[in-house]
């Protein structure tokens, strides 16, 4: 979910040509700056976006041990209370779980939670006390599942740059201008796939949301892969893709926003093997892939358009999460793509209040189908 800081523009001179202002890269962009925090009505003002000028060097390679690989398959610690209620959203992806408080889990239960996320891909936990425990506790919880990611351009919480803040409230004119140029607010992606070791597990926490709307929809990339023909799957297994944050960084600089990292380019397999389930998963998105080595530009565009359309329209392998108060969603970034649904709009006012934070646990370097593929870079 890329975003940038508020626009910073000088006052135009009389009769000067006014250049077109670039539309938001993503309509979920938090546009409210620190000076306007007092004017925003939110029950969690400490989570309003800030843009502190902190610089981060590129992420070096690191050893990653997935906690799911330590878990007991039957998950006796996670379901120890006996009062856990599990409702599946779709047969093969997504579950709503009640009767578990995430902030009370033991390490063994967290291992089993990681296994359940890997199996079900998306888990929604309504009415979580962890929402009120504060940034330190939330960040500590996610560190158990992997290394934190520090945001290159988006609004964060002061002194907590691992938080990515998604905040909308009003701003009718900006949204109208966005929809003059775009046919939809959806932007399907896998989070920060340009990193050398992209996220394994991701947390989303709802702080405030509209009564209706603002859902998040997820698509299972392992199931999407299986629906393709054996001939096409065999070809895709041999391909790589270049994932880059350069477009996001360039847009942020164009709009006068704050940048905390140089652009990152990483070459990943187009099909990755999930380290826990062993399933092959398509690994692509609409945001960060700039090239498929070995294919010409028109061929790359055709391939990406076809695969993304396949993922987006495959409603039989998707789960739509309807947010409830104080909900925390944990999902597997390796086997899903997702998009927010910005349908909570009012013609007079603009967007109704929607306030969510994201925390990322970086995982392993994507595993290719063929061992020799990894050594060929």
Q: Is the pLDDT of residue 264 over 50?
A: yes
- What is the pLDDT at residue 339? 94
Mean pLDDT across the stretch 312-337? 97
Residues in Cβ contact with 129 at an 8 Å cutoff, skipping those fewer than 6 apart: 101, 103
Tell me which of 33-42, 81-90, 185-194 is least confident.
Answer: 33-42
Q: Is the pLDDT of residue 127 over 90?
A: yes
- What is the pLDDT at residue 116? 98
Query: What is the pairing mode between strands 345-346 and 350-362?
Result: antiparallel
Give the closest residue to 89 by CA, choosing from 266, 252, 288, 321.
Answer: 321
d(CA 104, CA 207): 20
Question: Are 196 and 365 in contact, with CB atoms under 8 Å apart?
Answer: yes
Q: HEC profile for 280-293?
A: EEECCCCCCEEECC
Domains and CATH numbers, the chain: 65-375 (3.60.130.10)
**What percent of the chain has pLDDT above 90?**
70
Confidence of residue 373 (pLDDT cuts 50, 70, 90): low
- What is the pLDDT at residue 22? 63
Confidence of residue 31 (pLDDT cuts 50, 70, 90): very low
Q: Which helix (H) or strand (E) holds 56?
A: none
Tell me which of 79-93, 301-315, 316-330, 337-351 is least confident.
Answer: 337-351
- What is the pLDDT at residue 14? 54
Confidence of residue 42 (pLDDT cuts 50, 70, 90): confident
Residues in Cβ contact with 231 at an 8 Å cutoff, skipping those fewer than 6 apart: none
pLDDT in tens, 69-114: 999 999 999 999 889 999 999 999 999 999 999 999 999 999 999 9
- What is the pLDDT at residue 204? 98
Q: Is the pLDDT of residue 352 over 90?
A: no
d(CA 174, CA 270): 35
d(CA 271, CA 226): 11
Tell me the β-bridge partners of 157: 160
Residues in Cβ contact with 370 at an 8 Å cutoff, skipping those fewer than 6 apart: 237, 238
- What is the pLDDT at residue 186? 86
Mean pLDDT across the stretch 195-213? 96
Residue 24: strand, helix, or coil: coil
- What is the pLDDT at residue 135? 98
Mean pLDDT across the stretch 109-123? 98
């Amino acid at each position: 979910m890329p975003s940038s800081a508020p626009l910073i523009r000088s006052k135009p001179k009389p009769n000067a040509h006014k250049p077109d202002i670039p539309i938001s890269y993503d309509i979920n962009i938090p546009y409210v700056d620190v000076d306007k925090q007092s004017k925003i009505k939110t029950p969690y003002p400490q989570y309003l976006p800030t843009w502190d000028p902190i610089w981060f060097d590129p992420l070096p390679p690191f050893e990653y041990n997935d906690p799911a690989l330590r878990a007991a398959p039957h998950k006796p610690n996670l379901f120890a209370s006996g009062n856990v209620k599990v409702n599946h959203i779709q047969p093969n992806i997504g579950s709503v779980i009640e009767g578990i408080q995430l902030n009370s889990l033991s390490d063994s239960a967290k291992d089993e939670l990681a296994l359940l996320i890997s199996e079900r891909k998306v888990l929604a936990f309504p009415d979580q006390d962890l929402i009120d425990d504060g940034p330190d506790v939330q960040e500590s919880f996610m560190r158990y599942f992997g290394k934190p990611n520090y945001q290159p351009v988006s609004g964060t919480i002061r002194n907590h740059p691992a938080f990515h803040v998604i905040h909308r409230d009003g701003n009718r004119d900006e949204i109208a201008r966005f929809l003059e140029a775009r046919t939809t607010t959806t932007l399907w992606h896998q989070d920060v796939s340009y990193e050398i070791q992209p996220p394994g597990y991701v947390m989303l926490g709802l702080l405030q949301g509209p009564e209706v709307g603002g859902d998040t929809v997820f698509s299972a990339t392992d199931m999407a892969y299986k629906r393709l023909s054996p001939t096409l799957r065999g070809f895709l297994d041999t391909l790589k893709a270049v994932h880059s944050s350069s477009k996001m960084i360039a847009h942020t600089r164009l709009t006068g926003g704050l940048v905390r990292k140089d652009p990152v380019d990483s070459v990943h397999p187009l099909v990755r093997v999930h380290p826990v389930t062993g399933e092959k998963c398509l690994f692509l998105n609409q945001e960060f892939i700039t090239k498929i080595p070995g294919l010409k530009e028109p061929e790359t565009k055709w391939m990406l358009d076809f695969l993304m359309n396949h993922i987006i329209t495959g409603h039989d392998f998707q789960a739509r999460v309807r947010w409830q108060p104080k909900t925390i969603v944990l999902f597997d970034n390796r086997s899903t793509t997702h998009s927010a649904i910005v349908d909570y709009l009012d013609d007079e006012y603009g967007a109704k209040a929607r306030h969510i934070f994201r925390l990322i646990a970086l995982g392993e370097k994507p595993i290719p189908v063929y061992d020799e593929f990894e050594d060929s870079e």
